[in-house]
Structure 1
């Protein structure tokens, strides 16, 4: 199984904090995760300008020093924009890109297949992940997308050969030797690495037990979205809790709830 951390985008005084970004990428490499995904949902992609988007990818590639893979989101409602973003990200030397389905103006299956194939043709040998909600595509369309080399990432826990969108499905990802796009690894990469290690050593029961020991923390972080995750990171001095509008920082009750889990 591969562990790819859905990395936050750190902010300070309204701007992207590129120094902290590089520190966070380096930290993931030192913990030996397999890669990071930047500018995704957990990276507040929708709040980034086009220039910030590309610069974040460039800085992440620089900080990785080829120790881990760097993937970046190129998803958009506009296929032409996704293509343009993909081209710029490839120039930044990312190892692959992610797309998301459905967006608000979700097209018909045949249109989605056509658009995805266009982007994969540009990406060539680079990996392309399609983040796909349950039942967003029919089986035939999904098969067509897979045939052109695009990898499907699921947001549900169905037991199938694919990749999974967050830590609640780590056992699924281990069973099918897929990719886990981890949120929890932003804060505690060692916990996710430990589960993977025990599983691969054949200590299945220990791996399952280790997952259930952190399950409530995982669910708590995911339930509060980016503000919860960033505040948790701030407790460990890893990043600031700042988010960009329309998100807002945690209120005092939420902060107390998070501290109760992590203190």
Structure 2
């Protein structure tokens, strides 16, 4: 106790002028500090020292991604490190679109990766407001030329299109049997938490129809041809 001093209600060890409630001039040791990090979530606190040695606590996700609840790419939002929401989905079966009313592509439901588990049969939400990159790559088939079929991402909450592609269907090679044409979009969009979104498609004319293909066939065999991808950028 000979090395402990009090000054204005502060306690000092090895210092005669403590500047904090407890001011220790020397190393601090804890004989039972745990190395089990299983209970440390992204909202836990981490103790850090300022330049004068004062200990402060800071939310763990403000400094570095030491522990994450999800698998994925670590990004910085400018204020914290987070795991970016990401999914990649393939078609499970062909789906025919035959209406000018937007139809959710429900057969886009084979999940290769969905780290936030917020995707379900063509529809999805995001776990945080942010900017996301969306990739749509599909092959459609039809027996006749189509006038600007539309394929994209739809805001189901507000009934508006977020992004999409509507090139004319110009595939040739005969008037009988299915002709195929690929549609591709790569877009960065702002999405909001709590909003319902979906990958959807519609025809431009009520007399038209087309099929989104699961597989393409060539001389080497069959292969998946239609998929969608989302990943948070910031």
Higher relative contact order, structure no. (Cα contacts within 8 Å, ≥ 6 residues apart): 2
Considering fraction of residues, name the structure with more strand. 2
Same-fold call, TM cutoff 0.5: no
Shorter-chain TM band = under 0.3
TM-score (norm 2): 0.22
Larger Rg: 2
Higher relative helix content? 1
